[in-house]
Amino acid sequence: MASWHYLRQEGACVQEWIQLLIDGVTIGGVYAVIALGYTLVYGVLRMINFAHGELFMMGAFTGYFTLTAFENHSNFNDSLPVLTIAVAIVMGMVVAVTLALLMERIAYRPLRNAPRLAPLISAIGVSILLRNIMLRVTNAQGKVYPQVFPRTALEIGEIRLLYVQIFLLVLSVFFLALLYLFIQRTKAGVAIRAVAEDRNTASLMGIDVDRTIMTTFAAGAALAGAAGVVYGMFVTTATSDMGFIPGIKAFTAAVLGGIGSVPGAMAGGYFLGITEALSTKFFGAQYKDVVAFMLLVGVLIFRPWGLFGKRDDKRA
């Protein structure tokens, strides 16, 4: 086949494209995992939790503090890296879930029947608070992860993949699958879907709405916390503002996929990541956000409910 011959001739270039796609899928997976938190909370509460990106950041810091503690007080990082990484991820999830439950109880629940803008402002407040607490705690110094995960790479021709990147890739897919099963197959998942459908009716059917909302927050936070730890290991640094850009991007991904839709958030995340990587190649990284947001606008013009969202004639 002529095209195959052509591809072989252009092997190096095609490999560059594959590398770009992998780069895109890597960051896209992170966006997807964070986007789920936005979409789940929006599903049940019709509010955007703008502090969600900060849970990701807190996860990254928890991972840093856990691994550094292991580094300083034991040799487990060298002898049992699997254990320390697992502990770090679990700790990241625990801290993020705790914070999410606290913010739900303190900042959002009292405003549940307030006008829709109030919890939004409250969320922005929580986001600024968390970011500045960490700025204070770290004295504005970026923290560097101890090297637990070996930074060696898998090489196929010109394509080079750090093993930690593969770990990040696989883990994000794993978490996405896990959450999907949770929503579809468990009783708590059914409750979340019921509350998302109609909170009052769900309550009349005997579903504990407060509890379900807390479960939703916890599920989204657990994913963000875990993603924070693994992303922190991948980029090796944690800074107080690291949740901001991924947070905004994940929110975009959630809207792109159709806010409130779980498969939509996943697809939106990967779509956005790949778009960014490809537009870096075509137009330069300074224009990747322009391209991504133009795409968002384009999608919203033709499908205001997003790629996977349900059209909602009542509310529109």
Our CB check for other proteins shows the closer of 19 and 68 to be 19
The residues, ordered by sequence, that sit 6+ positions from 177 with a Cβ below 8 Å of its Cβ are none
Binding-site member from 26, 84, 212, 261 for other proteins (CB under 8 A): 26
Please state the closest distance from residue 184 (CB atom) to other proteins, in A. 24
d(CA 243, CA 176): 19
- Residue 208 is encoded by which pair of tokens? 């504990």
Angle, CA 270 vertex, CA 266 and CA 275 arms, to 5°:
145
In single-letter form, the type of residue at position 215 comes to T
Least distance (Å) from other proteins to the CB of residue 70? 17
In whole angstroms, the minimum distance from the beta carbon of 280 to other proteins comes to 4
Q: Check binding of 310 to other proteins (CB under 8 A).
A: no
**Minimal distance, residue 270 CB to other proteins, in Å:** 14
Q: Which of 220, 246, 243 is nearest to 101 (CA)?
A: 220
The pair of structure tokens assigned to 303 is 């499908």
What's the min distance (Å) between Cβ of 92 and other proteins?
A: 16
Nearest to 182 by CA among 235, 223, 234: 223
Taking residues 274 to 303 in sequence order and writing x for each that binds other proteins by CB under 8 A, - otherwise, the string is --xxx-xxxxxxxxxx------------xx
Residue 49 binds other proteins, judged by CB under 8 A: no
Is 129 one of the binding residues for other proteins (CB under 8 A)? no
283: number of CA atoms within 13 Å, CB side? 12
How far, in Å, CA of 40 to CA of 189, rounded? 11
CA 85: distance to chain centroid? 19
Number of residues that bind other proteins (CB under 8 A): 57
Q: Looking only at residues 88 through 127 of this chain, which bind other proteins when binding is defined by CB under 8 A?
A: none
User: Which of 230, 234, 272 has its CA nearest to residue 251?
Assistant: 272
Q: Hey, which residues does 237 pair with through a beta bridge?
A: 144
Looking at the Cβ atoms of 104 and 276, the one nearer to other proteins is 276
Between residue 215 and residue 274, which ones bind other proteins under the rule CB under 8 A?
A: 231, 234-237, 239-242, 244-245
Residue 316 found at the interface with other proteins (CB under 8 A): yes
Number of other CB atoms surrounding residue 19 within 10 Å? 17
Q: How far is the CB of 108 from other proteins (least distance, A)?
A: 26
Q: Residue numbers of the site for other proteins (CB under 8 A)? A: 6, 10, 12-14, 16-17, 19-20, 23-24, 26-27, 132, 135, 139-142, 144, 147, 151, 153, 155, 158, 160, 162, 231, 234-237, 239-242, 244-245, 276-278, 280-289, 302-304, 311, 313, 316
